[in-house]
Amino acid sequence: MMRTRHRPLPSGRITPRAALTFGLGLISISLILAALLNLFSLIWMALGILDNVGVYSLLLKRRSSLNILLGGFSGGLPVLFGWSAVTPGPVGSFPHPIVPLLMAGLVFVWIPVHIWFLAVSYRSDYSTAGVPMLPVVIGSTAALRLITVFSMIMVPFSLGLYFFGPFSPIYGVAALLSGLAILAGSVWVLYKPTETNAWRMFKVTSPYLTLLFAIMIVDAALKH
């Protein structure tokens, strides 16, 4: 692909064998360290690796337009890993058991919004490379409709953390305003479906999770 041609593997700066060796080493270290924490941390780490490497990269990326959706589970699992690392035990034993699930769900629904904007802006590049991203398979207009739907779903997930979690109105206002901004941007691109506009929304959605998670940290710190 033109978009990724300068990356280490496509450009030849790293050989496939070296990349495989390094990747397997990182996976092994990650699983060992997770196991040293507790069983649930190991489970979430292992499932995340299995979904990202096995389901997404090996099985679906070049075979199915569902690649981002089914591969997106690995995006939410680090949240569960982090939560279990500091609060050992099953999700139901947490002080706010729905919080890690809502956070993981928020990541899961954000991923297609973010990546499908990228796929719309690079639709011809993905098509030439034979990668069946959703906009390539169903067209940019239909994909933008789905992006808008997922943007709508994303808002209640983010607000659910305010209503069912331990967060103050500081987080609630930030979640509402940022969610509505992305939803408005999704509708804007739907009615002005250019590759440039899709790229702009890809860049706008990039800091969304970082912003919300940072505000969660600040919110929690202000309570102590």
Torsion angles phi and psi, residue 61, rounded to 5: -55, -40
Q: Are 112 and 147 in contact (CB under 8 A)?
A: yes
115 and 134 Cβ atoms separated by less than 8 Å: no
Give pTM, 2 decimals.
0.91
Q: What is the mean pLDDT of the chain?
A: 92
From the list 151, 148, 121, the residue with the least C-alpha distance to 136 is 121
Alpha-carbon span 221 to 224, nearest angstrom: 6
Render 130-195 in DSSP notation, one character per residue.
T---HHHHH-HHHHHHHHHHHHHHHHHHHHHHHHHSS--HHHHHHHHHHHHHHHHHHHHHHHS--H
3-state helix, strand, coil in the chain (%, to 5): 80, 0, 20
Model confidence at 25, pLDDT cuts 50, 70, 90, reads very high
pLDDT digits (tens, 9 = 90+) for 195-205: 999 999 999 99
pLDDT beyond 70 at 46? yes
